[in-house]
Amino acid sequence: MDALAFSSPLGWLCVGVTVLFGVTVLHRAQRSPVEKANVLIWSLLPALLGLLCGATLGTGGGLVAFWVVCLICSAYLGGRTLLPVGDRAVLITGSDTGIGHALAKYLDSLGFVVFAGVLNKDGPGAEELRRTCSRRLSLLQLDITNATQVKEAYIKVSEKVQNTGLWGVVNNAGVLGFPADGELLPMSTYRQCMEVNFFGAVEVSKTFLPLLRKCQGRLVNMSSMAGGIPLPRYAAYGASKAALSMFSGVMRQELSKWGIKVAAVHPSGFRTGIQGTSDLWDKQEKELMENLPADTRQDYGEDYLLSLKSYLLHMPAYCDADLSPVLGAILHALLAKRPRGLYTPGKGAYVPLCVFCYFPLWFYDFFISKMVSTESVPRVPRTAEAESKNL
């Protein structure tokens, strides 16, 4: 090591930048306690490099390398640093169960003023929120397909936030429908998915945007992995979530001039209860069967049709019960200085998206067929395959 490096102007400039960067990092950590650990860890890299450059610097090359690392770390910290919670207010739809329910509890524990929209204000989910959350949390009767209830919720939120505005809206409410081949699904399933997953979210967004504009807040739309890539048996659900994702992208561009940031969240498989109860499955299965034409029913075969409910029953076993990756993504979208436009929390959520975007479609179709392969095959293709093998 060159001990004289510290006495050179470049060496002292290197040390000075390190000190300045460290002070900035500590200031950010103080303002964002949620990210304190990450911020402090990332401050060590440029600090150590600064000392190394200061000890060994003989030319300007070391200083250039140090500056580059500082810029990279600053960019990373800018994306990781969260704004203080303060008295920020957030509206969450679909807080009865699943992600919305967990998010309402999580944000309340962090100090947010939470408006939890529920489909049933007297239901068990709403009652648990009353029992476990602070008095900052307010329950709203909110069926997002009911324009009257959306307007009433807007009035109640406006009265509470007054001139401060609403910091965030999380469009979480959604329905799955009965997972089945697109040809088999009744039109009512397509309409219900679009009505709740897309039109309802648009209605809530348009209604509450004036409050978001007051404080240049955040709009977060809960889409799905099925909204970014085509997945078998999710024609209705995937189409509605794809519409929501496109809406998010357009609104992100249009609302940027108002200072409002928009993000779409595409989680992978998480255990949220969105598939509903066994009674709902029976009802949806009955509706599907009653609407099938005789020739379609014959082509698919009874055993294949009966296997659809078995697929639905086994779905939770392949889903992650830990919702923390999703909650962390939503928190980042709400508080990050530079939030991302798209979040893909969960194991493997980003891999199928990359395959779909960067590989030939035939390869993607093959990849998905292996990833979500089902044991049952419709009667006609199965018979044709058996005949071809016997030839």
Sorting pLDDT into bands at 50, 70 and 90, what band is 275? low
Q: Which of 106, 154, 234, 237 is catalytic?
A: 237
**Cα distances (angstroms) measured from residue 40 to each of 20, 28, 30, 47, 69:** 14, 9, 10, 11, 16
Is the per-residue pLDDT at 215 higher than 90? yes
Return the exposure string of 140-154: e unless at least 16 CB atoms fall within 10 Å of the residue's CB, then b. bbbbbeeeebbeebb
Give φ, ψ of 89 to 5 degrees: -110, 140
Is the per-residue pLDDT at 155 higher than 80? yes
**What pLDDT, on a 0 to 100 scale, did the predictor assign at position 43?**
57
Is the per-residue pLDDT at 199 higher than 70? yes
Are 247 and 241 spatial neighbours (Cβ–Cβ below 8 Å)? no
- Assigned CATH for 89-371: 3.40.50.720
Q: In whole numbers, what is the pLDDT of the chain averaged over residues?
A: 81
**What pLDDT, on a 0 to 100 scale, did the predictor assign at position 180?**
87
Q: pTM for this structure?
A: 0.77
Sorting pLDDT into bands at 50, 70 and 90, what band is 272? low
Is the per-residue pLDDT at 59 higher than 60? no
Angle at 288 between CA 287 and CA 294, to 5 degrees: 115
Distance of CA 346 to the CA centre of its chain: 10
Taking the C-alpha atoms of residue 385 and residue 377, their distance in angstroms, rounded to an integer, is: 10
**Mean local confidence (pLDDT), 371-391:** 57
Identify whether 300 is a catalytic site residue: no
Is the per-residue pLDDT at 205 higher than 60? yes
By the 10 Å C-beta count (0-12 exposed, 13-18 middle, 19+ buried), 330 is classed as: buried
Strand order across the beta sheet in which 113-118 lies: 138-141, 113-118, 89-92, 168-171, 218-222, 261-265, 342-343
